[in-house]
Amino acid sequence: MEKIVPIYVKQTLKSLRVRLNLSQDEAAKHLGISVMTLRKLEVDSSEITFDMMKKVSELYVCPLDYIFFGPHNAFSGNLMNRELSCTS
């Protein structure tokens, strides 16, 4: 049976980049994309290609299952909903 990774243990692209102390410029160079493209992906990575997902996973040394791919506001909303359900 496949385990589903809970949203609260996933990391956003930005949080992974910051964790490695990389600037957007440095990360974009490693990924072979422009800084503008990286900025867009950090806000909404819902249309990221699988090849780019693998590059991100390798650069940030993080399994794909632990990376949140989607709009950043959806990630924040999911976390907020989880926090509210835990406090009720």
Distances from the Cα of 37 to the Cαs of 7, 9, 71, 77, 87, in angstroms? 24, 25, 14, 23, 38
Count of H-run helices and E-run strands, the chain: 5, 0
Say which residue, 74 or 51, is predicted with more confidence.
51
1-13 average pLDDT score: 71
Flag whether pLDDT at 50 surpasses 70. Answer: yes
Which residue, 80, 51, 54, 69, is CA-closest to 15? 69
Digit-coded pLDDT (tens) for 32-44: 999 999 999 999 9
pLDDT value of position 84:
46
Q: How many CB atoms lie under 10 A from the CB of residue 71? A: 13
Flag whether pLDDT at 87 surpasses 50. Answer: no
User: What is the Cα–Cα distance from 9 to 6, expressed in whole angstroms?
Assistant: 6
Which pLDDT band holds residue 72 (cuts at 50, 70, 90)? low
Flag whether pLDDT at 81 surpasses 80. Answer: no
